[in-house]
Structure 1
């Protein structure tokens, strides 16, 4: 299974789970209606939280009343999920090797995760565990690039990405179209992450896999770049609390009969 996990995820999320919990934004309230309306989740349904991480999205799924099965390959993240949601069945697994029977679930949901394993192989395995007419949901929180200082923050991050899969490259879209699924349909929601600079900027950046995987000296250099960014931006400088705007994008694709 380890060979199926990208090296940035295996190394970064192993060491960066704490920063992930502190630094990642929640999801906007309208996502709750999308889960129950568009995906049809309710107490009669079973959903896989695939690439569940520390459980950042798991609570949204639990709130629908559905039976939730969290699947995550990184043990350190799965441990934090189990502590936060002890009643959720949490299992080690990957998108290409799901530990579930054929046609056993109604929905597979990937929050902030599909870019890690986007492939024909993964979609075929997801289709295998979905019932006919079952749904695949993909959700990402994206920083709002229209904010004046955001390109500077993105430049600090992107300079270190290497070969790490990311939503922003669009490479994940090459897994579609897929013979088992209908077309992707998208909805967009406005969102914001409010908190201390330590969380919404420093811990958010530290939670990125390829940054968390850096040697300590290089991580310290990134922190210094972030301090210089904050000092040079009037919108950020001297603030005890910051609001970072996001856009949440949610996709659904339906499995054929």
Structure 2
């Protein structure tokens, strides 16, 4: 991540506003996970790497921990500051974290670790963690057991190219990692509810490799998504819809 993938660099710069409006939040169970699995509470220090517009950072703040955010994309940092003006967000990346050794009780990467699942990044994360500190990885994954969600994913697969994705599972190859305990995992059901324009259309257009497309290609994706909505009985003409996800939360601890 020292050199951002072109989909991340271009897509997140162009799509920061849509990312803020269209991305889902997280289930209530995440708050318990942050407390019980990662040990976050008042008096603790947390780092959010790849914080984006601050969607997950707000959940870290709610634990009472002192939170620092690292985000490499300028447009994302600007959206972050609009949403969370009281939280320190700095330029940086997972292989060059601008914090001292042993500074953090927990490091969290939400919707981000697949971009930098490298030994160098894990070594840098281990550097800034205290002994016994936790690394938490979180993703909202589309629930493709629902037929219209599977059809939406089929549209998107035409444009993925070589952009790293959680769904590929390649990020798991970074584990087991030196100096960390084995990875544990929990899963939670979640639904992002709201107008289809926001929770489906904006969500799709905020995806890095879609936002990085040229205007004509991006319009084709938008047209295909709108056609899917119009052809799906549980979506067409609805003022509010529920986009189903599975939230995956993984964690391990710095062992020495």
TM over 0.5: same fold? yes
Name stretches of at least 5 consecutive residues in structure 1 with no aligned partner.
none
Partner of 2:156: 157
Partner of 1:239: 238
Shift of 1:247: 0.9
Measure the CA separation in 2 of the matches of 1:98 and 1:4: 14
Q: Deviations over 1:159-210 (max 9, x none)?
A: 1011100000001111111111111100111110111111111000000000
Shift of 1:155: 0.8
Measure the CA separation in 1 of the matches of 2:87 and 2:239: 36
Mapping of 1:26-175 within 5 angstroms?
A: 26-175=25-174
Measure the CA separation in 2 of the matches of 1:226 and 1:80: 25
Partner of 2:202: 203
Q: Deviations over 1:42-82 (max 9, x none)?
A: 11110001100000101100000100000000011011111
Measure the CA separation in 1 of the matches of 2:6 and 2:226: 28
Question: How many equivalent pairs are there?
Answer: 256
Q: Deviations over 1:82-103 (max 9, x none)?
A: 1211111110000000001111
Partner of 1:223: 222
Partner of 1:248: 247
RMSD: 1.0
Measure the CA separation in 1 of the matches of 2:139 and 2:180: 20
Name stretches of at least 5 consecutive residues in structure 2 with no aligned partner.
none
Matched, 1:214 2:217: no
Q: Is the 8 A contact 1:72 1:94 kept in 2?
A: yes
Measure the CA separation in 2 of the matches of 1:84 and 1:247: 25
Structure 1: which 4+ aligned runs deviate by more than 6 Å? none
TM-score (norm 2): 0.98
